[in-house]
Structure formats: C-alpha cells, structure tokens
Amino acid sequence: MKAVILAGGYGKRLRPLTDDKPKPLIEIAGKPILEWQILWLKSFGITSFIILAGYKKEVLVEWVTKNKARLGIECLFSMEEEPLGTGGAIHQVKSFLNEDFIAVNGDILTNLDIRELKQVDETAIASISLVPLRSPYGVVQTEGDKIIKFVEKPVLKDYWINAGVYFLKSSIFEYLPEKGDIERITFPTLAEKGLLKGKKFENVYWRSIDSVKDVEEASNEIPQVFNFE
C-alpha cells in the first residue's frame, strides 16, 4: 500500500520557521515532521510514498532525495505550480494510484493504528480518523457559584475532530475536484451519499503542528510517545 503525504501548504502561522523550508521539514525533537510520519507509517509496513509538494518544494525534494536510502523508502513527487487544495493535489496523482491508499496531512504527528482505519465496510469509499477534541483553554468546574476544580486543557470526549489521516479507496477519484479541498468538497458529498465512515481513536497521541508553541510542546512529548530508530 502507498501513502500520500499532503505537504504543499505555506505554514504562514509558523513563520519564521517556514521562511526557508516547508512545514513538514520543521524539526520536532531533532527530526522533521515528515521523518516522524515516515517512521510511523513504516511501522505498519508502508515504504512507498507519494509526496504532494508546493511551497518550498525544491527544499523538500532535496531533503527526501538525500534521506530516502537511510529511511528505506521509495518516493515519488507531485509538484504544484499553483495551489490546488488537498483534493486537487490528490487528484493530480490519479495515474499513480490504482489501488486503495492512505493519505496524511503533512503537519500532524500521531501514533494511531492505520490498520483499524482500513477496517471499513464495503459500501464506504473513504474512512476518516477521528480524535477527541482537546480544549485549547483550561476549564473551570463549578457547583452553582462555587468553583471546585481547574482542569488544564481537558479532552472533550463528546466532540470529535478530523485527525487528517484517511483510508481512501481507488474510486475516490470519481469524487475529487481538480481544484479544491477534499475536506470541503469530497467528504461532504460522500457523507450525503452514505459513503463516508469515521473511525474513532480515543487513546492515541495526536497533535497538529500549527504554531511555534505546538513545536515546543510536541518536542517535549514526542520522545515519550515514539521509540522509532
């Protein structure tokens, strides 16, 4: 099975870290986000990758070319000359994907088990990983007007968010736009038709790297979560 990594974004909220490199090459605990993702996917037997590059694509190609032998992977690149959106970027590599595949946003770190994500029924064209929403704020618990407890950034288990890891059947290309986002165009269409499934992952590590604070916090967390060598 191949994995597609969506690595074309600008990473504007991470400047100046992205002034000279794309977001997937930002280092977390001594390794780029992209390397952590490759090591995670390799732990499930995936060694063939298609990287969808856009912003600072030359830097990304140079890093992968230099490191792919060390990482033990095969890799193809798809280059955006203009932003195509996540759906358009995947649509562009249709000729390289005639089988089911995994797609991953290039700015997330997780250890979720993709084998569980693949266990969808035959009617589903796509399966989305879901993780509980973590509050960005501390929460105050009360009884009437009495404050009884402070909880720092709790997990809100009644609310689920898209974790940016997808299992997609090859028939997904019938629903992908040539330009636009899979999240805004394809997934709502599939949901309306009953062709989209969600797999909930409760006890996993997941973080989206969207700010310098995320980089700092993830750098402290990752060594405790991953033991890839």
As annotated, the active-site residues are 153
Cα 46 from Cα 39, distance rounded (Å)? 9
51 forms beta bridges with 5, 77
Rounded to an integer, what distance in angstroms lies between the CA atom of residue 158 and that of residue 138? 17
Contact 118, 168 (CB under 8 A): no
Q: Report which DSSP code applies to 135.
A: P
CA distance 163 to 159: 12
Residue 115 CA, chain-centre distance (Å), reads 16
| Sheet strands (E) in the chain | 2-7, 27-28, 31-32, 48-53, 74-79, 101-105, 108-110, 126-134, 139-143, 146-151, 155-168, 196-200, 206-208
**Cis? peptide before 223, omega within 30° of 0:** no
